[in-house]
Structure 1
Amino acid sequence: MNNVKCTICSKIIGARAYSSDQNSSVRDEEGHGSHTASTAAGSKVPDASFYGVAKGIARGGVPSARIAAYKVCDSIGCAGEDVLAAFDDAIADGVDLISISLGGEPIAVDSDIISIGSFHAMEKGILTVHSAGNEGPSVSSVSSVAPWLFSVAASSTDRKIITKVVLANGKTLTGNAVNSFTLNGTKFPLVYGKAASRSCSDILAWNCIEGCLDSRLVEGKIVVCNDPNVIEETSRVGALGTIILGDDQKDVSFVLPLPASILATDQFSVLQSFLNSTKNPQGSILKSETTKDTHAPVVASFSSRGPNSILEDILKPDISAPGIEILAAFSPVASLSSFNEDKRHAKYNILSGTSMACPHVTGAAAYIKTFHPDWSPSAIKSALMTTAWPMNATIQGQYEDGEFAFGAGHINPVKAKAPGLVYEASKDDYLKMLCSINITTFGTCPKHVTGSPKDLNYPSIQAQVNAVKKFTVEFPRTATNVGPGNSTYVAKVDVADSDIKVSVKPGTLSFKSSGEKKSFIVTVSGKGLKVTSRLSASLVWSDGTHNVRSPIVVYTNSL
């Protein structure tokens, strides 16, 4: 190292690459791995920013933690055999936690490589934290479905990144984009539709369809487009910048390769009126700035939703964590965006996705493990789930999916280090659950198997029921006292809808020592529920100091 102090050498203690390409390097050439790893365990770095945007101290969840990196993806994709090999190596290397921010479609747990690899990790006392997926707000899109996985949804923080457009008439419009560029001037020509094209119809020109824009007509100008998927085209033809209509995912800003702002319909309509009212429309796109988001945390529009399409009685995702506009370390050899024209490189980048939320929970789990190194994976997971901040389904906007969006709620690591009670599940418990649905590939099933996945000692409570018919569902649970020895917890049930009733027996749990276990049964009943119903409640065990909360969800089988 030529006598230069290497701060990263004590952080990354191991790296392996897996690929059929023998020339594959362990170096992160995409940036994704650097971003997620530094979010989980990056050291403190002052004055970090993305070209001055979102400036502040960058740090991972547990800055003192060490990182072992396992590169299982390349430009082609992520081979299943490589993922399994990485799980095996990580287990053999003795890692404490595994964070995996990749996935695909929801598939059966005995066919899913990540489910299989993480089961082996669980057997060795290693918790695997997994991104829920980015296919939201589609129903049943969550791909992390196994109960031994810690499945993470993405939500907002109270810092929002916006990019303003200033028109020559003095009006200011607010849009979404991470714009690192500063235009040299305050007024530039705005060009829209046929004024930017010599070869296309009005509609195609308005949408800035590929091949329509004429580089001679857009040079030195800001192009206005009706289609949100035209960034590559406006950048390719050398436009000075672009303003785009885009209502999809208006809750998140992405890094773009040129000065740009994406406006929602109401803001774009103001721009159109201005364009129609003057012969020489001008304006400018300002560099991005941060603002306070008072509604946070709200689940991201892109975050994959439940219900769990594989194990219908297991609530997924498990928890929500920051996954929108996250500033973290980035590979200096990687492109900052997904666009070919973007030639910039930087040490930090702003990304969004459940990939970004996942390492937040990994960092929190590492934090919990520093206080409780002997806790099982399920105990750590339970502690984080039962102490999560309850989220308000009424402010989820058009993506109002309740627990199917955010699971137990938004992560609260400080509370989780002393949860009071935990719900533990062992390998035998998971095997019993799997055997109850005739999955035998994970181990030998006992001769007589009873019950169903809803009977698993899980921190959340969920059941799928038939629409219209009356129902009564029982959920057996066992709580382990991890708080003071002499403790008494009283059950409190909060039911949001009168169509269901919830009871808990016994309603009081008295413990004489730490580590003692007590069992109880939650019963949920109701008259016939409508098709596509999702009804919520919650159970809180409280000793006056600790509040151990479990979400309760009942939904019909026609969602």
Structure 2
Amino acid sequence: MASTICYCLWFSYVTILHLVSSLAKSDNYIIHMDLSAMPKPFTNYHSWYLSTLSSALDNTDLDTNNLNSASSRLIYTYTNVMNGFSASLSLAELEALKSSAGYISSMPDLPIKLDTTHSPQFLGLNHRTGAWPAAKFGQDVIIGVVDTGLWPESKSFKDDGMTEIPSRWKGQCVNSIGFNSSLCNKKLIGARFFNKGYRAENPNITIVNSARDDTDGHGTHTSSTAAGSRVDGVSFFGYAPGSATGVAPRARVAMYKAVWYDHAVASDVIAAIDSAISDGVDVLSLSLGYDNVPLYEDPVALATFAAMEKGIFVSTSAGNDGPDKPLHNGTPWVTTVAAGTLDRELRGTLKLGNGVSITGLSVYLGNFSSSHFPITFMGLCNNDTELTTKAKGKIVVCENFIYSSILIQEAEAVGAVFISNDSDSSFGHMFPSIIIDSMNGDIVKAYIKKNSDSTASMSFKTTALGTKPAPSVDSYSSRGPSKTCPFVLKPDITAPGTLILAAWPEKLQVDVDNYGNVTLFNSFNIVSGTSMACPHIAGVGALLKGARPDWSPAAIRSAIMTTSDIFDNTGRFIKDVGEGYKRATPLALGAGHVNPNRALFPGLVYDAGVQDYVNLLCALNFTQKNITAITRFSSFNCSSPSLDLNYPSFIAYFHANDSSSRRVQEFQRTVTNVGVGQTTYVARVTPIKGFRVSVIPNKLVFKEKNEKLSYKLRIEDARMTRENEVAFGYLTWRDMKHVVRSPIVATTLKLES
């Protein structure tokens, strides 16, 4: 009996020790907080979070001698990702925190399996359901890319497990300098180069006759984004580690090099597309364009009309001129792609001398000392004399990063913190720098002002997934309406374009700032631009082409547009970075952000063929020569000219403050039922300020699959509108399974004469 009692006491003692040990052991937790509960004395969320955490640490009496300060326990405070913070806590401290005012919930900071290219994951593509398995990952679909060439040795173009090349393929891998045809395989099935036009215009220039991407890297990046094979264990010098894959990883790639040293001429581009059509590509990805060129002189417009005739889906980039200049590639028969952000951020951390840690955006590639350095605030950092005398050996805080980074480096500062809401962190590869938002900037400035001996340290190479809000239309993405054809709403769609990681020529220097004569190479690179968004849509087009081979290019575009997302991952309307994070209009966003899985089942499609586009060209008052330049035929039917193309979007122009002008505009549309047989769709229009919009009829009753029915959309100017106004809303057709949404823009923007 005594031994039993002794054993029980020993067991209880061990259990208590284990419990105490468990309660004292620290793990990382993510804490969700209710911002409305923040007491008024606190001026910002960060200080409230820090105080809340400090109180929780004070409330625990377990192992108090080993407790660090609250600031050292705080890992991140979150402003966009979520409302709350992450911290290192014991179970006892976590329990104490739960009684704090404003506490909502907590979760362990579990490890996440990173997916580097990440955009396929962000787009919802997965191996089990949806577009990937339905399209067999793009198997046997051929994507032609007109670009700067390609690096054939990249693992993104390996052909492991791929089937034989389709017999319909007529192209070839041309032997060229440094690019033997044997480098092609079942993935990379074609490689040609086109430089005769460029040579003719630049007779004294030295270029290598090769399809190899040996001067730019752009073509390797875009082609692997569209159709790269899966590559494990990649990163950008530690950022975004994981596995990379293209949107259509089983699709074939054919490269048509027509861009040389970042330049291209129309003759080479047209020749490249011409060859692609002959070779038998199914999809064209064109991350290039020409500004302020009429349709009948635009090489992309000219060549892609023929591609459309052959059933080739064409994806093009909108351009990178931001809100201030109109987009290019406003061609009605191509799909024009704007660029958005991902829910992934590449980060650095600034740790102030008081222990407060602040995270921001960074892609600094070097190593940085963990020591604390003096930190100073220098306003706009645009006074080079002041920088020279005060910045040396310090971390400099600036409110302007676009023009000041070089000056700061020349002043021999050890690092920089830029206060900005801009999402582009790609400029700081070779100089230790972090971009923080204005709220965190206020915290840093307050610390510096309060402490004459203020110091800070910096750390880098952190990747965060699931950041919010995402996506947003990024600031550099060019906006509509199209100058070349303003009667068709452009852009069409938004796709990931910011900080996209994809393959890069391993012997080509990564595009970094060479301050200090540092040269770096890597087989993957992070690049931003609508050039990166374009191949995403080319990949989605390949998936739809594989799953729906009978669909026309217009039907594929329609499916992509009408099933897209207009809400971000916070459940709110997608924002526009270039317009101060206001709600994005269709002139920036297009129909929405692409959703490949939903595009498989659009329910209804707006189809269009050659004659529909000819009717549009006729209505644009082009001359016979102009139209012939596009259609290639001198004989065409202009008996039914119409600016009202059967398109899955609407744009109506009104004259401001002019009672004599047309106050009503009508659009005729025909939709094809590609869903179930018998079904009924009902129309709904979101209110558009200043306009009355109606749909006639507002109900479409389909008796069978592939049946076509028509309706009319009527937009009436309900008041005298001011100049340069843009109002917008959406027309949505719904049945029991499908939501078919089209953007509507009503504007008083002036048409180009």
1:253 shift after superposition: 4.6
1:280 shift after superposition: 5.1
Conserved in 1, the CA contact under 8 Å of 2:377 and 2:445? no
Q: Distance in 2 between matches of 1:395 and 1:23?
A: 44
Give the secondary structure class of the aligned counterpart of 2:383.
helix
Within the candidate set 488, 497, 503, 1:314 is matched to: 488
> Do the aligned partners of residues 76 and 538 (structure 1) sit closer, same or farther apart at CA in structure 2, a change above 3 Å counting?
closer
Give the secondary structure class of the aligned counterpart of 1:442.
helix
Provide the residue aligned with 2:305 in structure 1.
119
The answer as to 2:384 corresponding to 1:204 is yes
The answer as to 2:630 corresponding to 1:442 is yes
The answer as to 2:251 corresponding to 1:60 is no
Q: Distance in 1 between matches of 2:575 and 2:156?
A: 49
TM-score, normalised by the number of residues in structure 2: 0.67
The answer as to 2:342 corresponding to 1:154 is no
1:519 shift after superposition: 1.6
1:255 shift after superposition: 5.3
Give the secondary structure class of the aligned counterpart of 1:54.
strand
The answer as to 2:715 corresponding to 1:524 is yes
Provide the residue aligned with 2:652 in structure 1.
463
Q: Distance in 2 between matches of 1:509 and 1:203?
A: 66
Conserved in 2, the CA contact under 8 Å of 1:255 and 1:350? no
Shifted more, 290-299 versus 548-557: the winner is 290-299
Deviations 1:464-493 (A, max 9, x none): 111134611111111112122323322222
Provide the residue aligned with 1:198 in structure 2.
none
Q: Distance in 2 between matches of 1:540 and 1:224?
A: 48
1:380 shift after superposition: 0.6
Give the secondary structure class of the aligned counterpart of 1:118.
helix
Question: Where do residues 357-396 of structure 1 align in structure 2 (5 Å cutoff)?
Answer: 357-391=533-567, 393=573, 395-396=575-576
Provide the residue aligned with 2:614 in structure 1.
431
Deviations 1:42-76 (A, max 9, x none): 11122322222222221111111111112222225
Question: Where do residues 489-508 of structure 1 align in structure 2 (5 Å cutoff)?
Answer: 489-497=681-689, 499-508=690-699
Deviations 1:224-267 (A, max 9, x none): 556523445555777543333545x3465555223221344554
Give the partner amino acid of 2:691.
I
TM-score, normalised by the number of residues in structure 1: 0.88
1:7 shift after superposition: 2.4
Provide the residue aligned with 1:242 in structure 2.
416
1:419 shift after superposition: 1.1
Conserved in 2, the CA contact under 8 Å of 1:162 and 1:253? no
Give the partner amino acid of 1:514.
K
Conserved in 2, the CA contact under 8 Å of 1:390 and 1:409? yes
Question: Where do residues 65-104 of structure 1 align in structure 2 (5 Å cutoff)?
Answer: 65-75=251-261, 77-104=263-290
Give the partner amino acid of 2:496.
P
Q: Distance in 2 between matches of 1:259 and 1:5?
A: 31
> Do the aligned partners of residues 381 and 343 (structure 1) sit closer, same or farther apart at CA in structure 2, a change above 3 Å counting?
same
Q: Distance in 1 between matches of 2:274 and 2:547?
A: 27
> Do the aligned partners of residues 541 and 227 (structure 1) sit closer, same or farther apart at CA in structure 2, a change above 3 Å counting?
closer
Provide the residue aligned with 1:7 in structure 2.
158
1:543 shift after superposition: 2.1
Q: Distance in 2 between matches of 1:479 and 1:465?
A: 26
1:108 shift after superposition: 1.6
Conserved in 1, the CA contact under 8 Å of 2:341 and 2:471? yes
Please identify which structure carries the higher helix content.
2
Conserved in 2, the CA contact under 8 Å of 1:393 and 1:402? no
The answer as to 2:509 corresponding to 1:335 is yes
Deviations 1:193-218 (A, max 9, x none): 79xxxxxx982245x6xxx699xx84
Deviations 1:419-456 (A, max 9, x none): 11111111111111011112223234756545542x10
Q: Distance in 2 between matches of 1:255 and 1:67?
A: 32
Q: Which has the higher contact order (CA 8 A, sep 6+)?
A: 1
Q: Distance in 1 between matches of 2:367 and 2:479?
A: 38
Q: Distance in 2 between matches of 1:362 and 1:356?
A: 11
1:288 shift after superposition: 3.4
1:298 shift after superposition: 1.3
> Do the aligned partners of residues 296 and 120 (structure 1) sit closer, same or farther apart at CA in structure 2, a change above 3 Å counting?
same
Give the partner amino acid of 1:419.
P
Give the partner amino acid of 1:300.
D
Within the candidate set 724, 729, 736, 1:537 is matched to: 729
Q: Distance in 2 between matches of 1:421 and 1:481?
A: 5
1:508 shift after superposition: 2.4
Give the secondary structure class of the aligned counterpart of 1:286.
strand
Conserved in 1, the CA contact under 8 Å of 2:382 and 2:404? no
> Do the aligned partners of residues 551 and 492 (structure 1) sit closer, same or farther apart at CA in structure 2, a change above 3 Å counting?
same
The answer as to 2:454 corresponding to 1:289 is no
Give the secondary structure class of the aligned counterpart of 2:297.
coil
Shifted more, 237-246 versus 153-162: the winner is 237-246
Q: Distance in 2 between matches of 1:98 and 1:213?
A: 54
Give the partner amino acid of 2:509.
S
Shifted more, 125-134 versus 321-330: the winner is 321-330
Q: Distance in 2 between matches of 1:95 and 1:25?
A: 21
Give the secondary structure class of the aligned counterpart of 1:405.
helix
Provide the residue aligned with 1:197 in structure 2.
none
Conserved in 1, the CA contact under 8 Å of 2:156 and 2:224? no
1:408 shift after superposition: 0.5
Shifted more, 258-267 versus 91-100: the winner is 258-267
Question: Where do residues 186-205 of structure 1 align in structure 2 (5 Å cutoff)?
Answer: 186-190=371-375, 203-205=383-385
Conserved in 1, the CA contact under 8 Å of 2:336 and 2:491? yes
Conserved in 2, the CA contact under 8 Å of 1:378 and 1:423? yes
1:164 shift after superposition: 2.1
Q: Distance in 2 between matches of 1:143 and 1:93?
A: 27
> Do the aligned partners of residues 118 and 238 (structure 1) sit closer, same or farther apart at CA in structure 2, a change above 3 Å counting?
farther
> Do the aligned partners of residues 501 and 6 (structure 1) sit closer, same or farther apart at CA in structure 2, a change above 3 Å counting?
closer
1:523 shift after superposition: 1.0
Give the partner amino acid of 1:352.
S
The answer as to 2:738 corresponding to 1:546 is yes
The answer as to 2:670 corresponding to 1:478 is yes
Give the secondary structure class of the aligned counterpart of 1:137.
helix
Shifted more, 96-105 versus 336-345: the winner is 336-345
Provide the residue aligned with 2:322 in structure 1.
136
Conserved in 2, the CA contact under 8 Å of 1:102 and 1:130? yes
> Do the aligned partners of residues 6 and 474 (structure 1) sit closer, same or farther apart at CA in structure 2, a change above 3 Å counting?
closer
Q: Which runs of 5+ in 1 are unaligned?
A: 195-200
Give the secondary structure class of the aligned counterpart of 1:115.
helix
Give the secondary structure class of the aligned counterpart of 1:110.
helix
Q: Distance in 2 between matches of 1:121 and 1:389?
A: 28
Provide the residue aligned with 2:580 in structure 1.
398
Q: Distance in 2 between matches of 1:252 and 1:316?
A: 28
Deviations 1:496-538 (A, max 9, x none): 43x2122222222233332222122111112222222212222
Q: Which runs of 5+ in 2 are unaligned?
A: 1-151, 160-184, 200-205
The answer as to 2:369 corresponding to 1:184 is yes
Q: Distance in 2 between matches of 1:519 and 1:202?
A: 60
| Count of residues in correspondence between the two structures | 541
1:322 shift after superposition: 1.1
